[in-house]
Amino acid sequence: MSDGVAPNLIAAVDEAKHWDRLMQMAAIGAIPDAEGKMVGVNRACLTPLDRQARRLIIGWAQALGMSVSVDEIGNLFFRHEGTDANAAPVLTGSHMDTQPNGGRFDGIWGVVAGLEAVQAIRDAGVATKRPIEVVAWTNEEGGRFAPGCMGSMAWAGFKPANTWDGVADPDGITFGDALKEHLAEEADIPRRPLGYQPYAYLEAHIEQGPRLEAEGYDIGVVTGIQGSRWFIVELTGETAHAGTAPLSMRKDAIQDMIRAINALNDLMADPTDVLRFTVGRIEVHPNTSNSVADKVRFTIDFRHPDKEVLILNGDAIENTIRTAVKNCDVKVTERFHALPVEFDPIVQNAVSKAASEQGLKQIDLPSGAFHDAQFVVPVCPTGMLFVPCFKGISHNPAEYSKPEELAKGVRVLAQALADLANQ
Ligand SMILES: [Zn+2]
């Protein structure tokens, strides 16, 4: 970016207007707290609330002269033209759906930030060679229809768009029917084909982790998304009377679970504190205070940004449990396995350069959570930028980022998009 352009662009991002728009969005599906203050958001995908939020942002985009289109899985696009209409566009955006007990910033911030970055580019009179498109991906959260990231997966060609037509929500409504109804409600919006080849994709998101806030950084330059492996462990022993069965004769599933988890903690010990290992759910049978448990089921969520560690430690989980357990039968099932993805230096550099030119404190870090961006990686150079969020809390009404933190993020996004759109 040439000297003199960045200050215009930075000045064109209006912190108060940006916050006001986010609060208008947060009112759609707002969850009141005990004092009646609207702090959380419950806006499930393909519901009337989702459509209301989409109509609001469509209005803002149209006021900017952006063209609007929707594809067959409901991904919504806004396009700002460049000077070369045939150049591959730079794509930005995120998602507008929330978790059932969600917050005001996860997802929606990246979509509104994308729109406002385009507005700043226009208001500052910055010409870009490439068009810039803002996308709102369908069903990132997977809260109503599992799995999440359906919109980005279908767009990127991971799965055909009709893969999840039969998936039902808790009320028995299928994704296919909800999508049909949704697209009928948006019949006035021009259709576009699924997928294309952007020049680059840059997604802005709240960190959903504690590092930026705790360590005093303004911007996270995201290096990739760590890999995950999820397991279910079932231990089967024998139930017995707590008052009569001698300890030496028991096959106590809870005691074996403790041995297994202790051994797993040793396996997963990491002095660098990068590895993430969680036993988040335990089911005990019969789960009574005066019986020896005959069955325990527990989950393992193991994540790491390094593929080697993910494979080595993940493959060692079953043997570690079998060696540690004394009396029970062991069954270990791996139910999810996603390798880490690495983001492209082109996008990371654009974010990093914008942050340093704006005098902001930045750090490189991997994403601990999943995002639509991971499915875009095979399609085009991809990256993300993070802004701090209060104590790293997300998927919760307590989710919070300060207006000035979000505005800094929009300014970096605007400059990085303008930079990429002139490459
Ligand atoms: Zn999100």
All residues at 6 or more sequence positions from 48 whose CB lies less than 8 Å from its CB, including other chains: none
What is residue 71's three-state secondary structure? coil
Residue 261 carries which side chain, given as an amino acid letter?
I
Ligand 1 centre from 392 Cα, in Å? 13
Ligand 1 centre from 151 Cα, in Å? 13
Ligand 1 centre from 395 Cα, in Å? 9
Give the H/E segment covering residue 286: none
Per-residue pLDDT reduced to its tens digit, 237-287? 999 999 999 999 999 999 999 999 999 999 999 999 999 999 999 999 999
Ligand 1 centre from 123 Cα, in Å? 28
CA distances from 293 to 270, 279, 281, 285, 300 (A): 32, 18, 16, 6, 20
Model pLDDT, residue 2: 47
**Across-strand partners of 168?**
174
Ligand 1 centre from 148 Cα, in Å? 10
Ligand 1 centre from 141 Cα, in Å? 7
Model pLDDT, residue 33: 80
Ligand 1 centre from 140 Cα, in Å? 7
Q: What is the pTM of this model?
A: 0.88
Model pLDDT, residue 36: 72
Model pLDDT, residue 409: 98
Greatest pairwise CA separation for the chain in angstroms: 83
Q: Where are the alpha helices (DSSP H) in 33-97?
A: 48-63
Ligand 1 centre from 253 Cα, in Å? 37
Ligand 1 centre from 107 Cα, in Å? 4
DSSP symbol at 360? -
Model pLDDT, residue 336: 85
CA distances from 105 to 174, 223, 308, 368, 390 (A): 27, 21, 33, 17, 11
Ligand 1 centre from 317 Cα, in Å? 29
Ligand 1 centre from 384 Cα, in Å? 12
Model pLDDT, residue 338: 86
| Per-block mean pLDDT, blocks of 10 residues, the chain (423 long) | 69 96 96 81 97 98 97 98 96 96 96 98 95 98 92 96 95 97 98 97 97 97 95 97 95 98 98 95 96 97 95 98 98 92 97 97 94 96 97 92 97 98 97
Token pair for residue 265? 């903690």
Ligand 1 centre from 247 Cα, in Å? 49
